[in-house]
Structure 1
Amino acid sequence: MRLRLALAALLLAAPAAAQTGELVATDALRICADPANLPFSNERGEGFENRIAALLGRALDRKLDTVFFPQVQGFVRNTLRAGRCDLVMGTVAGDDLMQNTNPYYHTSYVLAFRRGAEVPERLDDPRMKALRLGAIARTPPIDLLVRHGLMTNTRFFPLAVDTRYESPGADLLRAVAEGELDAALVWGPIAGYQAKVKGLPIEMRALPSEPGATRMDFRITMGVRGQEPEWRRRINAAIREHQGEIDAILRDYGVPMLDAQGRLLPP
């Protein structure tokens, strides 16, 4: 009789366990990451997301176990939702494929140009049409290029590539640094990394979001599975307690960060 009661208790508890994160490993912090996507992550642990994940592992007193999978279509389905890992680094707040943690940084697309060059402050300045611009195809700044009639003087670099062999963001910024292009509309963390870590002579301004256009600034979170509220709370607590260290890692990689008013913070 006692055995039957115990079995019944286990059966009743099973659905509750499923609701509170039974898929989350207890012996390791299992991270999903791209194997070749600097400055964010790579297999050698050289990206800032690698370093932030290692910081979280120490904060949670868990060894870090990284599951590498290219961030292409099906990434979440084949990693987080398949139970192979428990946390996705660097997701945009509001991503409906996952439940989001609290943001741990706020960044933006930027206008990057060679250091010391005279580049207009605004995209609607008529002088912009005389510049040789560059952008990554199918990214949010394309909306601004269309809006301000700048498509014809823009060179486009591919978005969907095999990152093991191609790095269009780095190629775009090298073209700016070497004078092939006058300016680039590009994701801020990529520009900051090329300037600070790779030493390219470029500077940047945050691209402002315009009414009625695609937004340019984003709050970056981590992604967890739905129905794992306790796990999400633990990650949020770790982010909150170690935000200063996270900020220091981001600054090491030149990631441009915005204040509450959307202005670039000092590097």
Structure 2
Amino acid sequence: MLRRWPLLVALFIGCASVPAVADLPERQEREALRVCADGNNLPFSNEAGEGFENRIAELMAEDMGVPLAYVWSPQVMGFVRNTLELRVCDLMIGAVAGYEFVQNTNEVYRSVYALVVPEASDLEATRLTDPALRGRRIGVVTETPPLVPLRRTGATVQSYPLMVDTRVRAPVRDAIADVVAGRTEGAVLWGPLAGYYAALEEPPLRVIPLADDDSGARLDYRITMGIRRGEPHWKDWLNDFIDRHRDEIHAILTEYGVPLLDRRGQLHSGTDGGES
């Protein structure tokens, strides 16, 4: 079965439209926190509860004083239609700000694409226009924002398909494996994926956030929670939760190696994600 690489990244490059949510009354009582999630999508979520979105959901359920329940669905096109819009669950933990098919909460975190290199590499670049990338063999998932700037800079691009059978292949893991084996000199990947998979290697790979990029490509994104439209009270509660637990949420993200930016788009010192 073909699956699109995680919806979080797919949203960056557009997606098919979905029907409008039915105009039904907002639920006032919540007997459980019902989360819409992908059961095989680390570092974000999986059915074993090992992702950082699982951890945030646990924190939220504890705060609400209700059980945590998941509706598992592959994050492919139609994810919102098959989950939130069917009202079988009430919340996506991660949704790109401005994603038009959900109502966005306030920002949960902001991250950026990153360059992943071996620890001993002499390659240092915090922008895709850096001449140091010229002639270097760099891995990148096709159709993601870094691809064109890397080619313009003169990097030799090793591309990985966006559409894959994830029972057999995973483009990010393939890109990381090629860096480890020396088939490429680095890879440019979405920050949460870069940080997580780089840390799994022994020794860990080095992650360099592209926080100074001036290529014109959109490399940093604000991540919110996504809910149905027409649920103002639920949105207000979630915004309050995000505000009250911001430090705990960012501590979880830092534990997973997520490069965090502050609201000015600057890499946060210590990657604890706090405001400055």
Which bracket does the TM-score occupy, shorter chain normalised?
0.7 to 0.9
Match of 2:244 in 1: 241
Pair 1:159 & 2:162 matched: yes
Distance change (3 Å), C-alpha of 1:195 and 1:130:
same
Pair 1:205 & 2:172 matched: no
Match of 2:262 in 1: 259
1:31-50 equivalent positions in 2, closer than 5 A: 31-50=35-54
Distance in 2 (alpha carbons) for counterparts of 1:30 and 1:73: 20
Distance in 1 (alpha carbons) for counterparts of 2:201 and 2:54: 18
> Which one of the candidate residues 139, 143, 155 is aligned to 1:138?
143
Distance change (3 Å), C-alpha of 1:40 and 1:199:
farther
**Root-mean-square deviation (CA), in Å?**
2.0
Match of 2:59 in 1: 55
Pair 1:100 & 2:91 matched: no
Distance in 2 (alpha carbons) for counterparts of 1:223 and 1:243: 17
Q: Which runs of 5+ in 2 are unaligned?
A: 1-22, 272-276
Distance in 2 (alpha carbons) for counterparts of 1:40 and 1:163: 15
Pair 1:112 & 2:116 matched: yes
Structure 1 contact 111–183 (Cα < 8 Å) conserved: yes
Q: Which amino acid aligns with 2:148?
A: D
Computing the radius of gyration from Cα coordinates, the structure with the larger value is: 1
Q: Which amino acid aligns with 2:184?
A: L
* TM-superposed deviation, 1:128: 1.8
* TM-superposed deviation, 1:205: 1.9
Distance in 2 (alpha carbons) for counterparts of 1:54 and 1:125: 41
CA distances 1:35-67 after superposition (whole Å, capped 9, x unpaired): 111111111111110111111111111111110
Distance in 2 (alpha carbons) for counterparts of 1:71 and 1:200: 31
TM-score, normalised on structure 2?
A: 0.83
* TM-superposed deviation, 1:173: 1.3
Match of 1:13 in 2: none
Which has the larger helix fraction?
1
Distance in 2 (alpha carbons) for counterparts of 1:126 and 1:209: 14
Distance change (3 Å), C-alpha of 1:125 and 1:197:
closer
Match of 2:30 in 1: 26
* TM-superposed deviation, 1:178: 2.6
Pair 1:74 & 2:82 matched: no
CA distances 1:218-244 after superposition (whole Å, capped 9, x unpaired): 111000000001101111111111111
TM-score, normalised on structure 1?
A: 0.85
- Identical residues among aligned pairs (%): 44
Distance in 2 (alpha carbons) for counterparts of 1:249 and 1:114: 25
Distance change (3 Å), C-alpha of 1:128 and 1:228:
same
Across the two proteins, how many residue pairs are aligned to each other?
A: 247
Pair 1:250 & 2:242 matched: no
Distance in 1 (alpha carbons) for counterparts of 2:215 and 2:98: 19
SS in 2 for 1:130: coil
1:186-201 equivalent positions in 2, closer than 5 A: 186-201=189-204
